[in-house]
Amino acid sequence: MSKKISMNDIARELNISITTISFILNGKAKEMRISDKLSQRVLDYVKEKNYNPNTVGQSLRTGKSRIIGLVVEDIADVFFASVARLIEEKAYKKGYKIIYCSTENNTKKTIELIRMLRGRNVDGYIVTPPKDIEHEVSSLLSEGLPTVLFDRYFPQLKTNYVGIDNYNGAKTAIEHLAKQQYKHIAFVTLDSGQTQMADRLRGYQAAIDDAGLIPHLLEVEFSAKPQKLVQQIIDYLTQNKNIDAILFATNYLALRGFEALQQKQLVIGEQIGVVAFDDHAFFKVFNPPISAVAQPMKELSEHLIETLFKNLNAKGDQQITPVEIILKPELIIRQSSSKKL
């Protein structure tokens, strides 16, 4: 397999100009009126020697890299990992690779990451932004770098955004619980203040109001360690013994919540009704199966990548107006939220 050969090598070997090779390899042979005979000779040689253009050279010259930067909160989280996988698949088909980074929701780290990606000529950005990076994002925009936000957004910033209707997702879940005759429905969420969380909270409050119930809100510390999270939920349940149902604002919170319920010996689906935001493969086979507000993962990823590609392909300064795509989540009702009457 020897070492890689370069365009220069080919030019020397075939005794033609490097430019000619470039034209032929980039499908500009016709346009540049290269004879079919020469074209074929080059193409054959290239195939024979198994030549691959050096991506780095291309990138340096063109300023493009065919790399998409995926900047998410935590790549180990099922939600983000699933999105990553689906995006990767679609990107791959169009010849793009993904560089991913986990922000840990850390503003400083995220800014560093975006700068690094920029230094690498990354062509497009898919980002779940933490707080206070409006400036960094808008600087991407002002440089005309295709960017799509997802999961959360900045209300003041006109960007591409793909997400779900968190308000109605939460509202529908609460309506369902209310219909099941649960009377003291708690909402366990994070104090992160991000838009998706705020929207879910508003949905919860609206539905509770509509049903004439009392709100029970637990906002746990965003950056707390798992053990502390569990303890906070246990304490809350101990102090609010009347709670008969819980909506967890994320998958991860549900996990911690289940630990708390386990320790309090409260049986899901019997003493307490449960719905979780974001579905999880294992929810279906839980005992009892767990109800969930499911995000349409495939659609989400499709819209993300398509929006990005639309901007990627927009030639030059031809500005594309940012789009906001809000998808409908689906409430999947399983036994964890049905009172055995």
Contact status: 149 vs a second copy (CB under 8 A): no
Burial (0-12, 13-18, 19+ Cβ within 10 Å), 124? buried
| Residue among 239, 236, 246 nearest 271 (CA) | 246
Q: Find which of a second copy, DNA, none residue 266 binds, CB within 5 to 8 Å per kind.
A: none
d(CA 9, CA 5): 6
Question: According to CB under 7 A, which residues from 318 to 337 bind DNA?
Answer: none
Q: How far apart are CA 303 and CA 162, in angstroms?
A: 7
Distance CA 10, CA 20 (A): 11
Nearer residue to a second copy within complex by CB, 288 or 322:
288
> What's the rounded Cα separation, in Å, for the pair 265 and 336?
15
Tell me: does residue 259 bind a second copy (CB under 8 A).
Answer: yes
Instruction: For residue 200, give both structure tokens.
Output: 């879910």
With contacts defined by CB under 8 A, how many residues of the chain interact with a second copy?
55
Taking the C-alpha atoms of 57, 61, 64 and 66 in order, what is their torsion angle to the nearest 10 degrees? -20
Question: Within 57-96, which residues bind DNA (CB under 7 A)?
Answer: 57-58, 60-62
Task: Assess 287 for contact with a second copy (CB under 8 A).
Answer: yes
- State the binding partner of 22 from a second copy, DNA, none, CB within 5 to 8 A by kind: DNA
Among the listed ranges 46-54, 168-176, 209-217, 309-317, the one in contact with a second copy (CB under 8 A) is 46-54
Q: How far is the CB of 17 from DNA (least distance, A)?
A: 3
The yes or no reply on residue 193 touching DNA (CB under 7 A) is: no
Residue 103 buriedness (CB in 10 A; 0-12 / 13-18 / 19+)? buried
User: Cβ closer to a second copy: 40 or 55?
Assistant: 55
The Cα 45–Cα 114 span in angstroms is: 40
Cα 38 from Cα 310, distance rounded (Å):
36
Q: How far is CA 151 from CA 112, 213, 237, 259, in A?
A: 21, 29, 29, 26
Binding mask 41-60 for DNA (x = CB under 7 A): -----------xxx-xxx-x
Measured from the CB atom, is 27 or 155 closer to DNA? 27
Task: Decide whether 69 or 329 has the Cβ nearer to a second copy.
Answer: 69
Contact 211, 178 (CB under 8 A): yes
Residue 101 lies near a second copy (rule: CB under 8 A): yes
Give which of 254, 285, 275 is closest to 329, Cα–Cα: 275
Query: Shortest CA distance to 189 belongs to which of 149, 218, 155?
Result: 218
Q: Is residue 157 involved in binding a second copy (CB under 8 A)? A: no
Site for DNA contains 263 (CB under 7 A): no
Residue 312 touches DNA, criterion: CB under 7 A: no
Using CB under 8 A as the binding rule, whether residue 15 contacts a second copy is answered as: no
Q: Which residues bind DNA (CB under 7 A)?
A: 4, 6-8, 16-20, 22-23, 25-26, 32-35, 37-38, 52-54, 56-58, 60-62
Q: Which residues bind a second copy (CB under 8 A)?
A: 1, 3-4, 52-57, 59-60, 65, 67, 74-78, 81-82, 84-86, 88-89, 92, 97-102, 115-116, 118-121, 139, 142-143, 255, 258-259, 262, 267-268, 280-282, 284-288
